[in-house]
Chain A
Amino acid sequence: MTQQNHGNAHKFGMVIDLDKCTGCGSCMVACMSENNVPFKEDESNKKDSITWMRVYKLTNGKSFPDTDVCYLPRPCMHCGGKGDHGHSPCVSVCPATATDYDYGTGIVSQIYTRCFGCRYCMGACPYHARFFNWWDPKWPEGMEEYLSPDVSPRMRGVVEKCSFCFHRYQAAKDKAYLEERDTVAEEEYQTACTQACPSGAITFGDLNNPDHAVHQLVNPDPHHCGRPRNPKAFRLLERLETNPKVYYISEREWVRKAGDNYLDGEWEKAKMKKTKGHE
């Protein structure tokens, strides 16, 4: 039912192979550099450190020498919300329509000039993907020269987050229009993090397009709001039904299990269900 509503719309999404990710941080810096993300003298208080893309370090909790670690890059999940109808947790609570769901792309936007800083969206987001500007950005003398005109620098008092580099989509569409084409090719619209990743761990594209790598990697189930049919793929906090458009892949079971908070014994059941669903 949900898919039909969207017609031929795109549903841009990301697949991150956690077994390829080395935690190098290129995606974080590519994002900051692409999107004019500011920095302060002290960025070690991670609660006020603006990182649209943040790489988390997970451990399997086992003691030496059975320890294992995994890095998990976390952009905005661009949630489709319950039933994938576009009622993302953040969009549902924004009183200013400063953040909105684009049915044509599946991208959750953020319009800085509309935001008045109530931060409801930050409270609603289960992924800590949103950041508040407690201060005006300040660059050291001369460094403003490197700012890109494609993304407006933000001011104090507004919330910001990953846009899936939406300006790159606009640029790709403009180019296609000038060349009298109707469509934007897969490689023409890629986010800065995807492009920079030296490990090729990030794949980006249209989840609705079976020709796109993201679709092939996770094989999203249209009857279950895009739930991955690849048994090695998962989404974060799947049970909240936020229906994220960011998928993760790992061969390691403990990593897949870390994608949600399971009570004792729950994971085994969830696994069974998933395997059945796959069959």
Chain B
Amino acid sequence: NWPWTPVPPDGEVTFEDTVCTLCSGNCGISVRKINGRPVKIEGTTGHPVNDGGVCLHGISALQYLYDPSRVKSPMIKTDDTWKEVSWEKALAHAAEALGNIRKADNANAIACITDNDKGTVSGLFKRLTTVLGSNNYYTMDTMEKAWATTIDAVNGVKAHVGFDLKNSDLILSFGSGFIEGWGAPVYNFQVNARRKTHGIKLIQVEPRLSNTAAAADKWVPAKPGTEADLALAICGVLITKGLYNKKAIQADDPSFKAFAKMAQEKYSPARTARTTGIDVASIQNLAMAFADAEKPVAIAGRGKGDSAGSTREFAAVYALNCLAGNINAPGGFWLMDKDPAEVWPSIEMDAMATQGFARAKFVETDTVDSLMAKVTASAKSPVEALLVYNANPCYSLKNAKAVTEAVKKIPFVISFSSYMDETTQLADVVLPSHMFLERREDVSLTGPVPLDITALTRPMVSPLFDTRHPGDSVLSLAAAMEGSVAASFPWESYDACLEAVKAPVWKALSEKGSVVKEPVSLVKKIERMDFSLLLNDTAVVAAEGDEATYPLVLMPVDNIRLTGEIAASPFAVKTVSDKVLKGTDSFIEINPETADQLRLSQGDEVTLTTPVGSAIVKVNLFDGIMPGVLAMAHGLGHTMAENPYVGGKGVNVNALVGPVMDAISGLDAAWGIRAKISRV
């Protein structure tokens, strides 16, 4: 009767399980199929991460499969025009460019960026970078990376952190968007639901009433950027009252003695009350609540934890956990030893590779921010070729516009993305990857959960377009390079590589779809915390900009309904409030009191200016934000023109906030920036 509306064909219903890799949570998902055609995604019941629950992005994964901005075949850009080409041609083009750099004895000028260094696909990229002759391999910042560097700095241990929140009885969160998509989102939603039945209290320290703060038993609105001070003041009170675990702390340890003195004097409740805006009694009550709890745990990592953070803040929060004596204890802060169970064959390095690899790395730390800053600062980009996989630095790094300019300076960029995202738009060659529902790959859980799981994603559908598995793309690129580069990749296909490299666990992985290590192995020998890192203030992370010019503070905030480097799906964007996005306008949240002083009302259009950039946005009055502070949602302002359902909407807040390199870790620790607004 209505021939213009589709009639979806009926057929046999089946379910197939795989793993969602849209974030670090790695939920088990079940794909409902009709005659082999995927129609719906649901959470896998009984899965250790998400037990049947699933977030809106996971449910929307089929929209990522049919996303209009997918790159449908290899492409080469000449004179700013994309041309679809064959795989052979694209690979030859990329191989030639890389070969020329090597021949010029400049192999170290080839850099590679991946999202993380876990799993065989990242392993292949790292290996390729090495055998080409470069040590310039970088991963994107995350809170897990910041935690790992902090733990290394204060304990000298390499460990993965995991918070045993399910078994704790008090969670003291310093700005972690525990139910805003933090770490493993669905896992944490379930911990939150468990709070009601298991009496787990949540105290949220944050200048804005986020969903987490609203769900918490107590909201502590400390001034932005003073979270570490508050944590140190709580440490001071615990030490003064002797309310800390004497077994976990060596009282005669000189670093602890100095720390105790500093925490009690410099961060006395009276002084900290002035810094944080939290009164003396409240600080003392927080300390007492922490001391009275049987299994308290303190957590840090702002918002979703998609960026790093201040080492001082993380170390102060770690100190709280040490005082509670909960390191590696039930309900506490776990330092896990995760064995990737991988066997890689040895590599072959030719003269060009050996020479290149022996050169100094462009930047000391493993941060893309610093790499980009180096490119920006140099007249001629030291990076001559850049390989980008599973990362979108031109969107997700702070000061995104400067990063975009830096990437433009790099003579040759190879993107392995499935989508025409911001970074891929600037590439010279795209070797498009299958998206996760089209491929088999090992994934290791990286979110800060007390679990050690390696899972295998499985293809749910045959690849829709002329794309390849990113692992196979690396293998074919290496093959095209010939010589020692090709020889270092002895596998016929990615599948063969996966099976060989994962040989120690392959049987279980391939048969069951995952290897769950239970119980997880904890780092056996942990030295007592070295508190000296906290003794000086050099690592205080302040907001960029001077107060006289920029009287307000802008904070990017995470919203569970939006994503980061991959744009959200049409369904997810549809759920976003019209007080966050209206048409193509982004909103800033402002306290009605501050708005009143500036004579602004709901919906007014204003120019928001920071030391980094400016944008026109609309005003949203919200009582739950601290006066003088502005908040703007992360995840908008994608420029993907092919996908009008999500592209071209709103402003990317990363274009308004600059990175602040942490004095200790070198990772980006910016939590906001000073700002001003004026009526348009």
Contacts and interface: CB of A to CB of B under 8 A. Distances in A.
Interface of A: 19-20, 22-26, 28-30, 32-34, 36, 39-46, 49, 51, 55, 57, 59, 61-65, 67-71, 113, 136-137, 139-149, 152-155, 195-201
Nearest to B189: A198
Contact of B39 (A55, A147, A195): A147
Given A55-B575, A149-B34, A25 B560 contact: yes
B31 to A, nearest CB: 10
A39 B570 contact: yes
Interface centre among B50, B560, B643 (most CB of A within 10 A): B560
Contacts of B68: 140-141
Given A24-B560, A29-B572, A143-B66, A36 B8 contact: yes
Interface stretch (B190-198, B288-296, B510-518): B190-198
Given A59-B623, A147-B8, A22 B189 contact: yes
B59 A196 contact: yes
A176 B56 CA distance: 31
Given A62-B623, A196-B54, A33 B66 contact: no
Contacts of A41: 644-645
25 contacts: A24-B561, A26-B53, A28-B571, A29-B575, A30-B59, A41-B644, A41-B645, A44-B576, A57-B577, A59-B623, A59-B624, A62-B623, A63-B593, A64-B624, A67-B624, A70-B214, A146-B38, A146-B40, A148-B39, A149-B7, A149-B9, A152-B7, A155-B2, A155-B4, A196-B59
Given A24-B179, A51-B574, A39 B215 contact: no
A196 B571 contact: no
Nearest to B576: A44
Nearest to A147: B8
B43 interface: yes
Contact of B626 (A46, A64, A197): A64
Contacts of A137: 5
Contacts of B214: 68-70
Interface centre among A67, A139, A154 (most CB of B within 10 A): A67
Given A24-B179, A142-B464, A198 B54 contact: yes
B41 to A, nearest CB: 7
Contacts of A70: 214
B636 to A, nearest CB: 11
Contacts of A199: 53, 189-190, 192-193
Contacts of B163: none
B179 A39 contact: no
Contacts of B38: 146
Interface string B550-591: 000000000011000000001111111110011100000001
B5 A153 contact: yes
A137 B4 CA distance: 9
B66 A24 contact: no
Contacts of A147: 6, 8, 39
Given A34-B40, A147-B39, A200 B193 contact: yes
Given A24-B561, A33-B59, A67-B623, A113 B221 contact: no
Interface residues of B, number: 73
A134 to B, nearest CB: 15
A23 B211 contact: yes
User: Across chains A and B, which 6 residue pairs bring their CB atoms closest together, nearest first?
Assistant: A198-B53, A198-B189, A29-B56, A147-B8, A149-B10, A143-B66
Contacts of A154: 5
Given A28-B575, A33-B40, A198-B190, 5 more contacts: A29-B59, A45-B578, A145-B37, A146-B40, A196-B42
A20 B179 CA distance: 11
Nearest to B560: A24
Contacts of B570: 39, 43
A26 B623 contact: no
A149 B5 CA distance: 12
A51 B578 CA distance: 14
A22 B40 contact: no
B55 A24 contact: yes
Nearest to A195: B42
Given A25-B572, A146-B66, A199-B190, A69 B60 contact: no
Contacts of A43: 570, 573-574
Contacts of A146: 37-40, 62-63, 65-66
B545 interface: no
Interface string B20-45: 00000000000000100111111100
B123 interface: no
B196 A19 contact: yes
B621 to A, nearest CB: 11
Contacts of A57: 577
Contacts of B192: 20, 22, 199
A121 to B, nearest CB: 20
Interface centre among A42, A44, A147, A153 (most CB of B within 10 A): A44
A43 B627 CA distance: 31
Nearest to A49: B574
A141 B573 CA distance: 19
B111 interface: no
Contact of A26 (B7, B37, B59, B622): B59
B474 to A, nearest CB: 27
B185 interface: yes
B112 interface: no
Contact of B209 (A69, A140, A142, A145): A69
A42 B39 CA distance: 24
A30 B58 CA distance: 10
Contact of A64 (B50, B60, B593): B593
A30 B619 CA distance: 31
Contacts of B577: 57
Interface string B197-232: 000000000000101001100010100000000000
A203 B46 CA distance: 18
Interface string B439-481: 0000000000000000000000000100000000000000000
A22 B221 CA distance: 19
Contact of A63 (B62, B67, B573, B623): B623
Contacts of A23: 211, 560
Given A29-B571, A39-B570, A140-B645, A63 B4 contact: no
Nearest to B43: A196
Contacts of A68: 209, 214
A40 B571 CA distance: 10
A254 to B, nearest CB: 12
A71 B50 CA distance: 22
A57 to B, nearest CB: 7
Contact of A46 (B53, B65, B578): B578
Contacts of B625: 64
B1 interface: yes
Interface in B603-638: 622-627
